[in-house]
Structure 1
């Protein structure tokens, strides 16, 4: 007797089919090419570029050019957690520093033990999943676990002896700790900067509410809640008149979200666009007179970073994301290894980067952007390698490209990837022979990783994920 198939598999198959069809849709490619507005980026980009410069120049002057790339890679800890309030930034960034060091040391140990590339792919895919799990649990934003896996892959290729393991670990430790110091230094000069950005976002979101649009209202409420939490994290000794004014601006935004007219607000608080623009100018303090009192600021402060992170470690949704990301990394790396590519772990990184997306549409968009950026960046790197530059010209290229990449990463990931790919290939060439072959391998590995990442994302797409259909 013929039995009709269950509707659940049909629904899953149809949902995955629609997800895959989105890859070829005009909306996906338009989204990949869109240049978005962003919060202040120049100061942050210069910070990361400065950290990279100190690492590369310092290693060059001291004669440690063979491990300069690892020191520079460690300084990328400074690229994490943009706009995070400093009391939360310090412990979260310490988690990043520790993860980078542990992954690099682990990768170096694999290389020193002489394990096969197949074994390295398996173990480093697992390490990538664990790093992703850690970052998700502690809500750590930024380049993601790809940095940890890249550090581990590079270390595995470099280390042949126990001495090499020690040298690599020391170099990346120095770089990562310096990145932490560079990131925390502005807390002494501009302690209100993260709070100002959060309030500017709240004002912009409240101003963008459209009548009858539940999505824009929900987004505005979230932005207001986040701003209140960030300002509440202002250290006690830093609570001043400006802190009170920031709370007053949050109250004004919340009133608009609740449906009240701006005409009911204090005249100094009605120009949301102008106030948001002023607040985003980190170096210009806005201090209009205010008599606003802060009630119960202690009650507004969220739980500690580690307590919150430990609570989220067992979150089922995070565990499911970890499982599919690890599987995609493993498949991509094994496929690249089976094809005989020289750097199969780059395919693992490609899959990992794609699946770091917040939802499926973001995954596809990031995948497209990564491929486009890698192709363009590889072509630039080939041109650079063709003139056979020495160490110092490559250092200049790496510093400039790292800074430019950070300027564009929140505006358009494809443009940022052009610079990031160039930096990655330049750093790779500092410790080994570079050239067109390495650039071509990078592109091939990225294509494999992104393709497998998108396929796994489509096959495991969550039933409630409809972002790609809305697009």
Structure 2
């Protein structure tokens, strides 16, 4: 166990890292883009369907909650369809449950203190569940957003029912939209996983470490195993053969050889990324598929009692509550927005990624709030707002891999316009958004620094930390 002085020094170095110029420069770096167009269009389509339906029946407040339910389609974008269905059902059910329970709290106990405590606990639980069940995507901030919106909306029992029904319908639309491609191209996730593995292998050439490439190959094998039924076995075996060939390249390069067939193997990547079945695969090497892994649900149940995950959930709950109370003390009108800032920042895997996400969210919110203020000043009608929300939603999904700050630039105006669907919001609300985000990010980073694990040293200078930077989330 580390001495108290060691922990204090480690926290001090973490806080110093958060304000260093090098950290801020790293937060502005761009990641490598990937095949995100189709998932972005699906998420935008799900949002458009529910918003259009809400407008046609003259219930914009229903459309807003349905759109929150439909955001479940933004999760698990690279998962094989059978596993994606389970994870999306889990996330969608969580969004519906969180919105409904928050609406109930808003009716039964309309107290600011109780609302803060309820939403903060919910944020910690959401972070725990999503981490335990390995659900990649926007993270716990989406269920928290649904909770804050529902608490502000509900005043009667009928409002609770309205929130439940609207969010549930949106969840079903999002689930259906995300799984629709399974009817047209069921091998899509498997082909994309193999393509990404080939890209990782190609990137390994000339570098001393091949762990990332081998990890990508192992992940692709899991996706191929889980994707498709018995009728797709021949295609899956061909994909396994290609992965065997890719692994063979790594072994050859490790021996110092230069295989003549390397370019032939790696050339399959581009065709595999196309939105259609690819039959130009090698055959003959792989003779059987490996046994399927345990279900994600069984694995999640086994991890849900993990001490690090529970402690992280508690940290997030504490940071969320502190952020809301500080925002309230500073006079901001929407203190629960500060909880989202804290939750979004603390979704990082390490302290380094927490700081980067915090910086990126703050900068992105500032730029996005300026855009939102300009749009709100134009007093857009419902259909203009729908068009803006869908456009920002698709843009956000396209930018998710590039940089979280760019993502936040699109998400901030989308969230504010979505919040104002049932009634006009003034441009001044954008200032509140920035203030709440600043409070949330500062509290989140501070709590993360005070509670940092001694083994978390990603933020330290390179001589003390020769390992690679942590990868970005989906």
TM-score with structure 2 length normalisation? 0.93
For residues 157-236 of structure 1, the aligned pairs below 5 Å read 157-209=152-204, 213=208, 216-236=209-229
1:54 aligns with 2:49: yes
1:364 aligns with 2:355: yes
For residues 396-407 of structure 1, the aligned pairs below 5 Å read 396-407=387-398
How far, CA to CA, are the matches of 2:83 and 2:107 in structure 1?
37
Q: Determine if contact 2:376/2:427 at 8 Å carries over to the other structure.
A: yes
| SS at structure 2 position matched to 1:208 | helix
Paired residue for 1:457? 448
1:64 aligns with 2:55: no
Q: 221-230 vs 42-51, which deviates more? A: 221-230
Q: What do the CA deviations read for 1:355-386 (whole angstroms, capped 9, x no partner)?
A: 11111111111111101111111111111111
1:119 aligns with 2:131: no
Q: Determine if contact 2:379/2:424 at 8 Å carries over to the other structure.
A: no
Give structure 1 stretches of 5+ with no counterpart: 1-5
Change (3 A) 1:232 1:76: same
Change (3 A) 1:372 1:238: farther
1:251 paired residue among 244, 257, 277: 244
Q: Determine if contact 1:203/1:273 at 8 Å carries over to the other structure.
A: yes
1:137 aligns with 2:128: no
How far, CA to CA, are the matches of 2:206 and 2:62 in structure 1?
57
Q: What do the CA deviations read for 1:318-364 (whole angstroms, capped 9, x no partner)?
A: 11111111111111111112222111111111101111111111111
Paired residue for 1:3? none
How far, CA to CA, are the matches of 2:199 and 2:255 in structure 1?
16
| SS at structure 2 position matched to 1:367 | helix
Give structure 2 stretches of 5+ with no counterpart: 463-468, 470-474
Q: What do the CA deviations read for 1:147-182 (whole angstroms, capped 9, x no partner)?
A: 101101101100100001101111011001110010
Q: What do the CA deviations read for 1:261-289 (whole angstroms, capped 9, x no partner)?
A: 67557x3x644553223322333625235
1:342 paired residue among 329, 333, 340: 333
Q: Determine if contact 1:191/1:238 at 8 Å carries over to the other structure.
A: no
Q: What do the CA deviations read for 1:81-114 (whole angstroms, capped 9, x no partner)?
A: 1110111111111101110000000111111124
2:379 paired residue among 388, 404, 420: 388
Q: Determine if contact 1:133/1:313 at 8 Å carries over to the other structure.
A: yes
Paired residue for 1:275? 268
Paired residue for 1:351? 342
How far, CA to CA, are the matches of 2:323 and 2:2 in structure 1?
31
How far, CA to CA, are the matches of 1:241 and 1:148 in structure 2?
40
Paired residue for 1:242? 235
Q: What do the CA deviations read for 1:217-276 (whole angstroms, capped 9, x no partner)?
A: 2222211111111111123334244322211121122223333567557x3x64455322
Paired residue for 1:331? 322
Number of corresponding residues: 460
Deviation at 1:195, TM superposition (A): 1.2
Q: 252-261 vs 385-394, which deviates more? A: 252-261
Q: Determine if contact 1:59/1:65 at 8 Å carries over to the other structure.
A: yes
Report the aligned-residue RMSD. Answer: 1.9
